[in-house]
Structure formats: structure tokens, C-alpha cells
Structure 1
């Protein structure tokens, strides 16, 4: 089986290998909003890494891209591309109200399939930790999902994006693509309060390169100014947020400013976690996504005494970066779900590899 989580900036994929005792999981960068007509080609590239498979499982968030006039148009575009690449293979699409459905059903109920990836992951975690009250905090490159799971049931207040934004179950803070101007209106650096420029000068990727949470990527130019994702270029971008540069301020000041932005992101997520759980007693927090380190800091602040479990410790690091795609595989394969449940307290119980074509960091 091949599972795809098709987003606007990345395509996450997972593929069961052999008899299902191992899987590959990876993330493939693709700016769909810039080239929606290339989706078929990019999906073919992703599927080409998997080898043979006879079934495709799909979830998506790409329908939100502003290259589409409506979410319905976006869902139909994604489903059309999947149909082309599937080439006659069976396709199942995840929905937030009925689980897996056929492509025909998905076309008829596009809003049930729109932005449904979080629900697939939440459903899997709820089944695995079905004897506890759990909060799932999944931080990716762009957003964070915060979902309460109660003894096997997903207890989300909202299902659609607008509802989830209102309930704080969806927060537009991620570990790579968040524009720092969204963290204004001001920041305090070494005793001085600066207004934050309302310009797309820097992103959270720059922050976490400077804090050391993410590695430099000298060959990556997917940045606000098109320059490399190196420490020096990241410092210049972050300083530009307060009208400075590396001739006006030093590298250590850029690093200090990055920490200020990092704390702002942590605190906003911690506040959202507090609002979502309300007065519930929580047994465990599950942390996942390429930004799990940020999710952990927010959880430490919001619920410092609650047990934490990393998705990466259960399923592997690359699986955590493609957690929603991995969840689709587990939900479609009952035996796999049973294995996950039986061995949930063991580290590394499932051999999940990224493969040579995979980047360990998500953009």
C-alpha cells in the first residue's frame, strides 16, 4: 500500500514494504500553489520511490492553496491528479466524518475530505492509546494540530479549518514556514522594544537554524529572500524583521532575537494547548511532526507534569515527519494497528526508513 498526505508545500508519503513488518516514510517538497499543473508529475516522482503497490490511500490539505478559487475546486484537482497516477489501482480517501471513502464519494462530499489529515492521525493515536485521555500535538512546517482523544474517541470541537481555528485546535505556527511578521506586533531584545516589520522577510526556519534546533541547509533557497538556509543568511533575515542587518548588529544579537521569536511561538502554542484541554485531566501528551521539538517545549510549559510520548519513539523519526501518511497505512491495515497497539511502549518496534531520496527535515 502507498499512502499520500498531499499538502500545499510538501507531499508526505509512506509505503508498506513486504509483509507489512516495515515501511518507508518520507517528505517531498513541492510548492503546489505555484505550479498546480505539475501535481501529477510530482506525485509520480513520489510514487516512483515506493516501488510496487496495488492500493493508494490519500488525505490532503492542498485544497486550501490560493491557486484554487474554492476548496471544492482544490479537492477535485487533487483527486484528479491522484486518479491519473493511480492508473487503475484502488484508491481510498480519508474523510473526517466517515473514515475511508471512494473517490466518487469524495467528489460528492469534498468538504469532508478537505484538510482531513489531522483526523487520520488523531484516529490512529486514539486507537493505540484507547485506555487514556490524551492530547495530540502535531507540529509540522506550517501548522500545529492540538486534538483531545478520550479513551479511543477523537474529541475535536471542530472538523473544518475555520471551526478548528476558532477552537485553537488548529494554530498557524510551524517549524519552518511561519512568517515572523505573524509574531508581532513587537518584540523585546536586550531591554529595547522593537516593532516587527509587517513584511515577509524571515520565517521560523531561520529562527530554528539560529537556535540550533534545525541544521543548516546551504543548498536550500526556499527562503524569504531566496538566499541559502545558512546561519549567516538566516541571521540577516531575522535582523531585517526589526530593520537591522549584520552591519548594524552582531551575530549574537541575531541569535538572541531568534530566541525571542522561538519563545513567542512556544508560548502561543502553550496557550492553545491550555484552551483546548480546558479542565480535562490529561494522562499523556503525544508529540509528532517535523517540529516536535517545538511542540514539546509548548507542552512542557502548558502541562509540565504530564507524561510525554514522541511519535518518533514509537514509529521512527522519518515516520514522525510523515505521521499522517503513516496513520493512513495503519488505519487501512488492521493487523498493523494491532501490532502498534501491542508494542506501543517499545522503542523502535517498527522498522521505518527514509530511504536515500528522503530529507530528514521538512520544508
Structure 2
């Protein structure tokens, strides 16, 4: 009888402790929700940097080295034109840029601003035949090195791969792509939204000029219609957790700051990539030249997100299959389109993998 009584007391004590914990968390949720209503926008992108060049939508920055000795080959990061680069530099401890600097890399980044109305007609051609080559030349001048490693994220990876296929004798020593789309037939929902029978891209672009950010963001949201609700539920469950709330608010800010797109770029992407799948079919022409991924022969690493709902693995995998490089590797890691670069799994898995691949190729 004594042991049964003791067991009941222990169970009651455990239940009391759990109830107390839940009450404390509920109080914290209430306090935190009130704080969030009046909270300022979370600070992001705090790693010290210098703007080397800016014109219109283009901005080239150089992050200040934090160690005495850096690898010889500088690293130029190319972001997708829809997104700001601070996703790779959210906060101390959550910054891929900071990690790379601490590991001794000389980091530059092509960031984007909202295109002006004068830039409404910019196309993929302008990005791969003007913006990227111009930034590479400026990195060469600033670093004093001829060789450059190009790292492209999402559509930034696609632009980097297209650039390299058209500049096979150029200064790029290594190519790193992250969640890079190639076979657009596997982006089924995007393709259905862009179906030429139901969407007149010419009429749309001619009407808006610069495609509004809200339209771009809605296209991403429709891929996972419940994601915002699920995110808000997770936020409520974790409002007592300062670290979770901080991370949520930074990611929310980044998503809300999705950029508008030049109409010419949007038209070309819709027609050539989504409707015709021209990159995969090897029929895409840039500046009158055929884009052949097989002409890429530099060392290539492609990092694919296992649970990516924007660029599914089957959409990304043809990149390594198509390139002509002898030194090439695809690595599929747990995570989604964003968490592969900025989440907890990125810190534990992707960042060390990128470092280990780059270190011997950056000398």
C-alpha cells in the first residue's frame, strides 16, 4: 500500500509540475504576444561589409575578413533576384556568411534591390552577360586574384550555371549551386499557374512593367497554402521561447521582403523555362547563344534540399547529370528550400559540407 501511495504522490507531483510549466508558458505567451505588437523590425544582416558597386537593382558587397589569413580564391555569392541576401546573414550564430569568414574565406555577394521602372525590360541575358561578369571583374580588381568561386542560391544558382556555360574559358575556378532548378517540368504547380492557355504573360507584363512583390510572394505561398497558418501555430506554441520567436520574426521579415521582378525577366522565365522547359531541353538561347550545361567543366558542388517544395530534388538533380565536369558532386541534405541554408540543420550539416568541399579548391 505504501508503494502505491508513493507512486500516486509522484504522479501527482509530476502532473503538478507539468501544469505549472504550462501556466508559466501561457503567461509568457501572453506577454510575448503583447511585446510583438509593439516590437521593432528585427535587425538582420549585421556582418560588417562594404558596398563595392551599386547600379539600379544590382548591389555588390564585400564582407570584411575576420581572420589574418584568407584562402586565395575569393567567393562570390549570387542571390536569386527575388530575395535579399541577408538570409545568409541573419544573426550571429545563424549566419552562413559569418561562418565562411571565420573559416578564412574572402566573401563577396551580389545582392538585389527592387528594380526601377527603367529596368522593367531586364532579362536573364542582362544578369548572365552583364551583371555577373561585371561583378566578377570587380571582385578580381578588389581581391587582386584572377580566379573566383561562384556560389549561386536557387535562381542565383541557375543564373550562375547559365553564365558558366557561356564563359567556359572565364575566371570561375569552382561552381557551387544550392537548390538550383533545371527540369522545370517537375515544378508542376508553378507550371500550371503559368499555363499559356490560362495565363497571358505578355498581356500581364505589358500591363505592370515591373512585376509586384505581392504577386511574386503569392506564387510562392500557393505552393504551400497552409504554411503560414502552420507557422503561426508553431509560433503560438513557442511564444515562451525567446530564441524561437527571434528566429521566426527574422524569417518572417525576409519572406515579407520578397522583391519585385523586372517584367522582361518574368516573361522570359515564364515562357522559356516554365512553359518550354528550355534549360532542360537544351533549347534556351541567351544573347543568341545556345545554353549547353555540358560545357561546364569546372569543379561543381550541388546542394539539394530533401524536402524542398519550391525546387524539388527531381527538378534540381539534372544539373550534376548534365554538366561535363569530372570533379562534380551532388549532396542531398535534410531540410527545405530555406532551412537548408539558414536553419539548424544547415549549421550542423550544410555549412561544414560546404567548407570541406571548398577548402582544398580555394588555395
TM-score under structure 1 length normalisation: 0.31
- Highest Rg: 1 or 2? 2
- Of Structure 1 and Structure 2, which has the larger fraction of its residues in strand? 1
- Of Structure 1 and Structure 2, which has the larger fraction of its residues in helix? 2
